[in-house]
Amino acid sequence: MNKELMEALDMLEKEKDISKETLFDAIENSLITACKNHFGKADNVKVEIDRETCDFLCYAEKEVVKEVEDDVLQISLEDAKAISSKAKLGDMLHVEIKSKEFGRIATQNAKNVILQKIREEERSVIYNQYYEKEKDVVTGIVQRYIGRNISINLGKTDAVLNESEQVRGENFKPTERIKVYILEVKNTPKGPRILVSRTHPELVKRLFETEVTEIKDGTVEIMSIAREAGSRTKMAVRSNNPNVDAVGACVGMNGARVNSIVEELRGEKIDIINWDENPGILIQNALSPAKIVAVFADPDEKTAKVVVPDYQLSLAIGKEGQNARLAARLTGYKIDIKSETQAKDAPGFRYEDYEYDDEEYDEEYYDEDSYDEEYEGEYEDAESDEGLEE
């Protein structure tokens, strides 16, 4: 019997990751509970279990008295002598309790105590396991739709992908494997409740940390990220090693690294730019692929005025203002974009402040694939005479 008990404990420890010591404590408490149900009280009951052999001893501490008034707490001298010949009045004697004598109800209650403890520990183990993964990315399997929410199996438990955390246009089929960002892990009476997201900007950041070795080892650092889930992400990176190109490391050979992340995000476009401590240069980089004539940034007010060539105004603003909006989030600056013509008409404008050399931009590299089809070619007509404030 003891051998079978040991094997059962080993199996529980392995399958449910519950420590054997916790299981021994549960068995001890269950025996004490059984004694309480059998005798009515168990204040003087002790249980000892040998951790190596699983042999256990259940006994009650009873006082040796001349006349017994409470047979649960006391034992007569005559009965005590039968157990130990050295017993005398006033001694505390350990009287063994035979667990086989417990009634059916007491035994069932003891069993329930053990099962309840196992369930509690199992929930606790799962909670601790996923609490450590909070703010991280995990792979899950789509289970089913619950209304407009999606149940995602993470292995030992299920997570909930709420409608608000789903990317518009993404549809999943049962058994499909997807990566999700763990937003929060709550401990509830029914077990851990895990909330995950597909829209959080940190999802993209964690995917790059997993995919790009240079980010994982700290050579390349992600400084800022702005995302409109399902459409476009802008990410600013810098290198802590002058011999490593931060953007190139993130893009990978023939775009292999960034393409794997784009595939996971179902075609979401990703713009990767170089971070710069100079806010003017950073804003210029953030507005790429648009060419910039000049940037005037106010670090105190966190505002910036940007002038672009007339035919680049639409590209700088982006479809429905997306390019400027993401650039503003990425840099933390409120950006006012004007074309050269609009800037010239503005009070206090001096043309020489905005002059630029076309050749400077001819030498710059950009990925033509990052352009939306709507922006290919030149833009002769500006969308707004007022510019865009973001």
Res 258: pLDDT: 94
Question: Does 281 have pLDDT greater than 50?
Answer: yes
pTM above 0.75, yes or no: no
Q: Which two tokens stand for residue 250?
A: 């993130």
Q: How many CB atoms lie within 10 A of CB 180?
A: 23
Q: What's the half-sphere exposure (Cβ side, CA atoms, 13 Å) at 190? A: 4
> Residue 350 pLDDT more than 70?
no
pLDDT digits (tens, 9 = 90+) for 56-92: 778 788 888 888 877 778 888 877 888 777 878 888 8
251 versus 14: the higher-pLDDT residue is: 251
State how far the Cα of 110 lies from the Cα of 113, in Å rounded to an integer.
5
Place of tokens 């993130």: 250
Average pLDDT score over residue span 363-371: 38
DSSP class of 285: H
Predicted confidence (pLDDT) at residue 161 exceeds the cutoff of 90: yes
Residue 22 pLDDT: 84
CB 245 within 8 A of CB 208: no
Number of neighbours of residue 272 by Cβ within 10 angstroms:
21
CA atoms within 13 A on the CB side of 159: 32
Angle (deg, nearest 10), helices 20-39 and 104-131: 150
Residue 11 has pLDDT above 50, yes or no: yes
H runs (alpha helix) in the chain: 2-16, 20-39, 77-83, 104-131, 201-211, 213-216, 246-251, 256-264, 279-286, 313-317, 322-331, 340-345, 358-362
